[in-house]
Structure 1
Amino acid sequence: MRFLTFIFFIFFFSIAFSQNKGRIAGSVKSTSNEALPYCSIYLSELNKSTQTNEKGEFSFENVEYGNYTISYFLLGYHKVQNKIELNESLKIIKVKLEVKSEQLKSFQLEGEKEGVGDVQRMRSIEGLTISQGKKNEVINLSEINANKATNQGRQIYSRVPGLNIWESDGAGIQLGIGGRGLNPSRTSNFNTRQNGYDISADALGYPESYYTPPTEAIKEIQLIRGAASLQFGTQFGGLLNFVLHDEPTTSGKAFEVTARQTIGSFDLNNTFLSVGFNSSNWKGYSYFQHKKGNDWRPNSNFEVFSGAVNVGKYLSEKTFVNIELTKMYYLARQPGGLTDKEFYTDPYQSKRGRNWFEVDWNLFAFNITHEFSSKTKIKTQFFGLSASRKALGTLGNISRPDRTYENRNLITGEFKNIGNETRFLQLYDVGKNSWAILLGARIYKGYNRSRQGDADSTDLPNFTFNEKQTQGSDYEFPSQNIAFFAEHIFRIGQKFSITPGVRYENIITNADGSYNDIVYDLAGNIVFDTTFFEEKTSKRSFVIGGIGLNFKASNKLDIYTNFSQNYKSINFSDMQIQNKNFKIDPNLRDETGFNFDLGFRGVIQNKLNYDISGFMLLYDNRIGEIDQVDEQTFIPYRYRTNVSKALIRGVESMVEVDLWKIFVSDSSDFSFRTFVNVAFTDARYTESQSSAFKDKNVEFVPALNFKTGLNISYKKFGLSYQYSFVDEQYSDATNAGKDSEGYLVFVPNAIIGVIPSYHVMDLSGKYDLGQLKFELGVNNLTNEVYFTRRATGYPGPGIIPSAIRNFYFTIQFKI
């Protein structure tokens, strides 16, 4: 019934607004009279955009009579802007663009993406990325009204359906998002990038992201679902790309300085400074952030330093180069997890006072973009990482007290990798149709060293191993990867396109090191103590493919579908972490499967934005976690293994509408937007060899994920309200945590069990005076007590309570 309501709502307004209005139509050609496809056309007064078809034709439907400014943008051609008066039912425009000698610079000029409000959609060709026929979202950070100082994921990703967000700390230091049954842990199931290059620890052996760029420095966030596997890597989640500012945030400025200061609950203090410039053949953007606070539970103080420099230069009219350097360092005290009983009795408490976490993340990138002609360009990108992660504290069962006289456990990770990715894009004509081909290659070499052992017994952040070690491990994980990929847009007629793609992967992962194995009797005496040495090598080569279809039924309706294969290699770097709460199957196998999407989307007169789709994700050899009991100690623990084949199906929908523009005035400074984001998901294990898993729910999958909100703005003022509801979900493959009658069962170590459903509200406001801007808000408005994850190790183990009600206030000064 809800689905039919959506359909009726969309097409009702499509018809209603067609009366007493005109149509603007036309064509765009070169000075040599060639039709120009893919030209971006922007109608500024209505904030509407479109693209020319393969014949160079375009149209804007149902436009009110009046005076308008239309801009035309196309790679390799001079920008054209003209004014028109619409006073009849049909206005025909014919525009000719002149080839620009400084072709590359014209490519940097972008028309508006299609969308309403905070979320838009990528063009069919976005830079050197093909997104035609793929489910995608673009989050415009300049439009977001949220707590940017704490990277509040619940607000920032509110218009992206189906995302499951872990809240591990109140400061937003680490991002954890998943979707479609994928583990949200440090966003490891997405190919996570910044400005197009890798930022995770090790793209092959350890694809977890300990670094998240500050929201205040981000221009937009691009998401392409599982179909991104062919262009960006084989992960099931797809692409998550943070596009940072690379010039002044205000269009037309040659130099800009922005200072932001945020204070908030629990001693939050965030300072953000940025400088942007665009002068002659140079442009760039740099930022610095310092954030500190105490969070809301005891033993949870933190301090973060981050900064970046991005400088680019046009070496010639066709060649642009830029270099990027990024650094983040943070030190955080972690209060540890709680048992179920402790959480429901007093979620404010902390049972761990000696746990610390330190991250030092350093990224670099060097890019060269060259344009051979208006239809041919290439980009090569060199990137690298030198980073470390150190976790110090007590990993023992959270139901037992921390014996402060005992040595703590220290786990360190060193990550060094380097790579290159090169992309070549060619647009060409076949008959009356314009086609496009993208070719790419990637080479990557990674090195990951993981050590574990005893550290001192103090409560200080001393990340040093003791001289004499009684247990632990020391492993090196070198890896190599060579990949080639291709995608092609075949346009058939004016409305239909086919986009097939293929990717070849050659992956080599190694594990070389040693670990101690110690067995105790029930009295705590050592009965077995030995050191094992291992050397493992895994080589595999394979080809995956996919195809996307897109049918543009009208300027208001796109119908799309996509099928793409996926592949995820096992994480060798997890294989020998010694943790009494957590063990890993030594015979883990790689995961394979596919993503399938079918949906329709569009924008109606910049008043209604919708994207409604169904999906299916098949996950073979899915790695999951089950409950086991140690035969010697009888202590329960989580066992990570290939659980079963998983089939995940659902509907993801997002509709945003400006009610004021629909019912009151189309040209008013007042706006009243509302959105509804709903995802229904059914995720089951199938074809399992064990009855313990068959037909069980896949972990980390809420059956209903619902968000809605209101956004009211008038000239310089804006106010946003958001309500979020996430249904209950399981944290392991056996669906432990409920008895046969559906009542909750508490497991003593709290690392498995149900994550109950929760709802939370947020309120944010802003007042923009140009150079001066004020922002304030309340997160968790009604002070709900809830949690989103059960941790097996750090920052737990156990239940990690989410932040209680908290306030923030930001003042921004820009010159």
Structure 2
Amino acid sequence: MKNQLFTFLVFLTTFITYSQKATIKGIITNNSKEPISEVNVIIKNTTKGAQTNEQGSFTIENLEKGNYTLTISYLGYKTKEIIVSVLNSEQKNLGNITLFEGNEILNEIIIQGNRTNKFSRKETAYVAKLPLKDIENTQVYSTVTNELLESQLVTNFDDALKNTAGIEQLWTSTGRGGDGAGYYSLRGFSVQPQLVNGLPGLTNGTINPANIERIEVLKGPSATLFGNAVSSYGGLINVVTKRPFVGTGGQISFTSGSFGLNQIIGDFNTALSEEDNIYFRLNTAYTSQQSWQDAGFMKSFFVAPSVSYKVNNKLSFSFYAEVTQAEQTNPTFLFLNRAAPQNATNLEELGYNNKFSFTSNDLSLENPNQNYRIEMDYKLSDSWKSQTLLSKSTTSTKGYYSYVYDFGTFTTDTFSRYINKQNANTQTTDIQQNFIGDFNLGSLRNRMVIGLDYYTATQTDNSSGYAFYGNVNPDGTTNGDNPFTPSVETDTYPLSTSGVDAVLASQSVNNSKSKNEIYSLYVSDVINLTHNFSAMVGLRLDRFENEGDVTNPDDDYNQTTLSPKVGLVYQPIQNKLSLFTNYQNGFTNVAPQLVGDPSAGAQTLETFTPEQANQFEFGVKTNLFNNRFNATLSYYNIKVTDRVITDPSSPFNKIQGGEVESKGFEIEINANPVHGLNIRAGFSNNDSETTKSDNTEILNKRPLEAGPETLYNLWANYEFQEGSLKGFGLGFGFNGASDRFAINYVSTGDFILPSYTIANASLFYQAEKYRIGLKANNLFNKEYYKGWTTINPQSPRAILANFTYKF
């Protein structure tokens, strides 16, 4: 009886306590009285908030009596603040709240709890440099969200990009100076990740996913808004980092897995001064892993502090930094001969044993990297905003780098190892000033960005020359016979720092420094010709100034280039279905080069006009069933003209005038058909060919940087929403590609890497404060390869386990 009385008193006390709590609810609509889903409604200076559902409604419960300020925000709409007073047990209904379209760029926390379609987030102010919805943007782009990365237990950047339709790794990060980041094929052209939060952010190593909020992959030539320094003809990769939010919280995560993987990640956010609206966030990670081959390792420490300061409703500042200390052995690819016939045409004929790394843990590279950015936003008026941006990057490489290459001097497939000591540094500075407007000219709404951009890069190279360091065979055996000496040597070449240093002692050391500057002016305007028909028009003027070697005035050159962009969007169903077409331009400033046979006399300096890429594209975008089904389907045709190639009749001469055509179609789907189930799928097919060239080696052939013709990906994740299994979930997916040419020249013949389909699966349990996950990558342990004139073996099956605690 006493126990029952005690239970009753506890229940009664709890009931009375919660019955005195207040609730605020309402419905968010646009100016046309249509509900808006996924609007953030946050109680200012607290961590309490909600996000609107498909009907635009929200509810914030368990509030104490008092006065509150609600901050209501959504990308592309003007942020609204409402003061609300509630009493104990009051159910405050605010009714309909109207948001008006404007040029606000979100900085507040995004409530993720009940958000639909978690694998899709197309609200971004970076792609168009305007707060433009995807469905009204003429450019195609993919976003890889933080929720998608979390569901897949992603621990590296390469795995993150597998979720994007039409992109494929060509080779992984080598860590070498200048271009040591990973290379990827996108719409038939190679690209590296060189953009962070819309600004240049270089690296010679890999990008740590610990600080990634999302990855944006822009498709097609994008020089009009971003220039050629950070983009390719196929597109560009922009990494959006985590930002401070209003409130206190964070998480700590530990992942352990196969091949010695250990990764610990911390994320902490707090107010430095709630009264002054100053918030601080710190993301940090330590990762270490051994290779699945006989040798090789990687370890890195990463820290990313960020601060946001909202001075008032007009002025705000943000600071972001990423500092990485990393060390790794460079992956030793098998480089195929690019000038002589191949002894083997496939892996079986080659007799390759992919368990050999052809390196040792004694030979490593250090890759320290720093990126810093400062942003100032100032509201000039209700129609115009000023955005001032400064970014600085420093990336370095120091240590031992080696490669193995088949020179074709032996009767069998024998690869000669060459090694050097890297000591290189690249520094960049970028300053942008954007004026972002949202105004009417007569009856026409204009959303415009006018920008000035100054970019400079300085590269210093004090690396040693390359020295021969023995031969390796595909089966792992070795010999010491130098292919460039008449005698047969039997020297041994130990894979140690002492052995390598002894050989490199006779090599010269580079002492080069180069610098280039780019001055740019760009303008882009989205004009609403009618309520559901808009046009995007843009133009960029670039002045490129290159000093080349700063000690040699003869290699300096300057170029001026124009880059236009035009697009049309028609929405038969407003905000749900759009038909689009675009014309986009890209370019490359080609440095003057010395030509002529040096044995016949002094060489001469020949200049070239910039290479040009022009894309025509059309397609369909959808946002159906209250944001539960997003799809993009497009067809593109990219034509590159004025390509500079090596003269086939003389290796000392260059010829301009080559043409490449790349065309294809892509489809990407993000679906949330029922609560708890999220699906991401993509498919692409690319037909790329060198259509004009004086070099018959490549004429009418698929460029090697184009990668495989067909790519596909799928990931489905389901979490039980109720019952005894609530919180449990599972995921399954696959990635695949058709076969590809590793070599495809007339004189060499073809070397083909086979097609593959790789399955992955996960299990997890998610509670309010913690998440436990188990993941299997390459579930069926398939042997597969990638490459770009190289043979790059990929990891076998790997098991990962993760525990995350949220606070």
What TM-score do the two structures reach when normalised by structure 2? 0.74
The structure 1 residue matched to 2:386, chosen from 378, 390, 396, is 378
2:691 matches 1:697: no
2:711 matches 1:708: no
Superposed displacement of residue 621, structure 1 = 3.5
Give the Cα separation in 1 of the matches to 2:614 and 2:713: 27
> In the alignment, what sits opposite 1:142?
147
2:288 matches 1:285: no
1:602-631 deviations in whole A, cap 9, x for unaligned?
122133221100011111234679999999
The answer on whether the counterparts of 2:402 and 2:419 sit within 8 Å (CA) in structure 1 is yes
> In the alignment, what sits opposite 1:440?
451
2:581 matches 1:561: yes
Superposed displacement of residue 295, structure 1 = 1.5
> In the alignment, what sits opposite 2:767?
769
2:223 matches 1:229: yes
Residues 486-501 of structure 1 mapped to structure 2, 5 A cutoff? 486-501=523-538
- Tell me the SS of whatever aligns to 1:478: strand
2:612 matches 1:592: yes
Give the Cα separation in 1 of the matches to 2:370 and 2:257: 28
2:247 matches 1:242: no
Superposed displacement of residue 356, structure 1 = 2.6
Superposed displacement of residue 549, structure 1 = 0.8
Stretches of structure 1 lacking an aligned partner (at least 5 in a row):
1-23, 30-34, 46-59, 83-92, 201-208, 515-532, 576-584, 632-638, 662-668, 739-744, 746-752, 792-797
The answer on whether the counterparts of 1:737 and 1:754 sit within 8 Å (CA) in structure 2 is no
Give the Cα separation in 2 of the matches to 1:465 and 1:615: 54
The answer on whether the counterparts of 1:44 and 1:69 sit within 8 Å (CA) in structure 2 is no
> In the alignment, what sits opposite 2:641?
620
- Tell me the SS of whatever aligns to 2:792: strand
> In the alignment, what sits opposite 1:550?
569
The answer on whether the counterparts of 1:170 and 1:295 sit within 8 Å (CA) in structure 2 is no
> In the alignment, what sits opposite 1:351?
358
1:285-305 deviations in whole A, cap 9, x for unaligned?
112211112120122122111
The answer on whether the counterparts of 2:252 and 2:806 sit within 8 Å (CA) in structure 1 is yes
Considering only CA atoms, is the larger Rg found in Structure 1 or Structure 2?
2
Q: 1:79 to 1:573 in 2, by over 3 A?
A: farther
> In the alignment, what sits opposite 1:409?
420
Give the Cα separation in 2 of the matches to 1:596 and 1:114: 35
- Tell me the SS of whatever aligns to 2:190: coil
Q: 1:176 to 1:628 in 2, by over 3 A?
A: farther
2:196 matches 1:194: yes
1:168-187 deviations in whole A, cap 9, x for unaligned?
3799x954322111125x44
The structure 1 residue matched to 2:210, chosen from 209, 216, 219, is 216
2:515 matches 1:478: yes
The answer on whether the counterparts of 1:643 and 1:733 sit within 8 Å (CA) in structure 2 is no
Give the Cα separation in 1 of the matches to 2:773 and 2:736: 25
Superposed displacement of residue 690, structure 1 = 3.3
Q: Which residue type is aligned with residue 380 of structure 1?
A: T
The answer on whether the counterparts of 2:280 and 2:307 sit within 8 Å (CA) in structure 1 is yes
Stretches of structure 2 lacking an aligned partner (at least 5 in a row):
1-25, 41-51, 61-71, 85-94, 337-346, 407-412, 468-492, 596-604, 722-726
The answer on whether the counterparts of 2:645 and 2:695 sit within 8 Å (CA) in structure 1 is no
Give the Cα separation in 2 of the matches to 1:565 and 1:309: 36
> In the alignment, what sits opposite 1:729?
740
Give the Cα separation in 1 of the matches to 2:111 and 2:531: 22
Q: 1:107 to 1:332 in 2, by over 3 A?
A: closer
Q: Which residue type is aligned with residue 695 of structure 2?
A: S
Residues 18-37 of structure 1 mapped to structure 2, 5 A cutoff? 28=30
Q: Which residue type is aligned with residue 229 of structure 1?
A: A
Q: Which residue type is aligned with residue 697 of structure 2?
A: A
Identical residues among aligned pairs (%): 14
CA RMSD of aligned residues (A): 4.2
- Tell me the SS of whatever aligns to 2:223: helix
1:764-807 deviations in whole A, cap 9, x for unaligned?
2332112211122011111111111146xxxxxx5221111111
Superposed displacement of residue 598, structure 1 = 0.6
The answer on whether the counterparts of 2:641 and 2:657 sit within 8 Å (CA) in structure 1 is no
Q: 1:298 to 1:342 in 2, by over 3 A?
A: farther
2:362 matches 1:361: no
The answer on whether the counterparts of 1:322 and 1:368 sit within 8 Å (CA) in structure 2 is yes
The structure 1 residue matched to 2:252, chosen from 252, 259, 267, is 259
1:247-303 deviations in whole A, cap 9, x for unaligned?
25xxx6x22232111111011111111211243411121122111121201221221
2:801 matches 1:809: yes
Give the Cα separation in 2 of the matches to 1:258 and 1:694: 54
Deviation larger for 776-785 or 765-774: 765-774
The answer on whether the counterparts of 2:300 and 2:326 sit within 8 Å (CA) in structure 1 is yes
The answer on whether the counterparts of 1:330 and 1:358 sit within 8 Å (CA) in structure 2 is yes
The structure 2 residue matched to 1:180, chosen from 184, 187, 207, is 187
Give the Cα separation in 1 of the matches to 2:647 and 2:752: 13
Superposed displacement of residue 157, structure 1 = 3.3
2:299 matches 1:303: yes
Q: 1:695 to 1:25 in 2, by over 3 A?
A: farther
Give the Cα separation in 1 of the matches to 2:503 and 2:215: 43
Q: 1:543 to 1:111 in 2, by over 3 A?
A: farther
1:719-769 deviations in whole A, cap 9, x for unaligned?
22112221122245626765xxxxxx6xxxxxxx33322221111233211
- Tell me the SS of whatever aligns to 2:210: helix
- Tell me the SS of whatever aligns to 1:42: coil
Q: Which residue type is aligned with residue 526 of structure 2?
A: I
The answer on whether the counterparts of 1:511 and 1:572 sit within 8 Å (CA) in structure 2 is no
> In the alignment, what sits opposite 2:663?
649
Q: Which residue type is aligned with residue 568 of structure 2?
A: L
Aligned length: 673
Give the Cα separation in 2 of the matches to 1:601 and 1:458: 58
1:391-420 deviations in whole A, cap 9, x for unaligned?
5244453655778xxx94223321122220
Q: Which residue type is aligned with residue 130 of structure 2?
A: T
- Tell me the SS of whatever aligns to 1:718: strand
- Tell me the SS of whatever aligns to 1:129: coil
Q: 1:438 to 1:227 in 2, by over 3 A?
A: farther
2:688 matches 1:683: yes
- Tell me the SS of whatever aligns to 1:477: strand
Superposed displacement of residue 494, structure 1 = 0.6
The answer on whether the counterparts of 1:364 and 1:384 sit within 8 Å (CA) in structure 2 is yes
The answer on whether the counterparts of 1:300 and 1:332 sit within 8 Å (CA) in structure 2 is yes
- Tell me the SS of whatever aligns to 1:782: coil
Give the Cα separation in 2 of the matches to 1:572 and 1:329: 36
Give the Cα separation in 2 of the matches to 1:600 and 1:470: 58
Superposed displacement of residue 558, structure 1 = 0.8
Q: 1:43 to 1:785 in 2, by over 3 A?
A: closer
The structure 1 residue matched to 2:783, chosen from 782, 785, 797, is 785
Superposed displacement of residue 595, structure 1 = 2.1
Superposed displacement of residue 313, structure 1 = 1.2
Superposed displacement of residue 599, structure 1 = 0.6
1:110-162 deviations in whole A, cap 9, x for unaligned?
799998341232468979436532112222212435554532534x3344221
Q: Which residue type is aligned with residue 646 of structure 1?
A: V
Q: Which residue type is aligned with residue 639 of structure 2?
A: L
> In the alignment, what sits opposite 2:485?
none
The answer on whether the counterparts of 1:147 and 1:808 sit within 8 Å (CA) in structure 2 is no
Q: 1:386 to 1:350 in 2, by over 3 A?
A: closer
The answer on whether the counterparts of 1:566 and 1:593 sit within 8 Å (CA) in structure 2 is yes
Q: Which residue type is aligned with residue 346 of structure 1?
A: N
- Tell me the SS of whatever aligns to 1:219: strand
- Tell me the SS of whatever aligns to 1:183: strand
Give the Cα separation in 2 of the matches to 1:393 and 1:170: 8
The answer on whether the counterparts of 1:40 and 1:111 sit within 8 Å (CA) in structure 2 is no
Residues 444-459 of structure 1 mapped to structure 2, 5 A cutoff? 444-454=455-465, 459=495
